[in-house]
Amino acid sequence: MNARERFATDSTSALSAITPQLEALTERLGVKSVLVMRSEPDAMVVAATAGEATQHYTVGAAGKKAGEDASRIPLYCEHVVDTDDALFVRDSRQDPVFAGNEDETEFGLHNYLGLAVHDSTGRVVGTVCVLDDTARDYSEDQRADLERVRADVERIVATDAEALG
């Protein structure tokens, strides 16, 4: 069984056109996961997944948001949705906000770079993000690659409001 068979890229049907782009980005960046996430009131839900971590992040899998529960550590993507800001966490184990978050403790993914995805009205409806198990930085070119994925997802969402699932 080759890596592609073990770690199958998957997506909602509306996002299937960008799955080759997600696979290519995963390889170019050398990360464990590239995701497109949908924001729901209480959860972040996987809409597209590529990379080795597809074994954890399957389409439809959901992570519960911390919300107003001060005893819970927020999800990376939850923070992006709530702030509408890009988020870079070099190493969550060393981060006062994200240390001990679910992606780190359950899957060993402590490096994160994510961007908000907007619908045609400008409302934040999800994220595109990369996760890795190595503390690392991203070059401007690598960040631009993620921006291009976000732009493609937003184009799809603009014509299909249900594209994220």
At 55-108, the pLDDT tens digits run 888 899 999 999 999 889 999 999 999 999 999 999 999 999 999 999 999 999
Contact 146, 25 (CB under 8 A): yes
Tell me phi and psi for residue 148, to 5 degrees. -65, -40
Judge whether residue 4 has pLDDT over 80: no
Rounded Cα distance between 13 and 27, Å, is 22
Q: What is the pTM of this model?
A: 0.93
Q: Does an H or E element contain 15, and which?
A: none
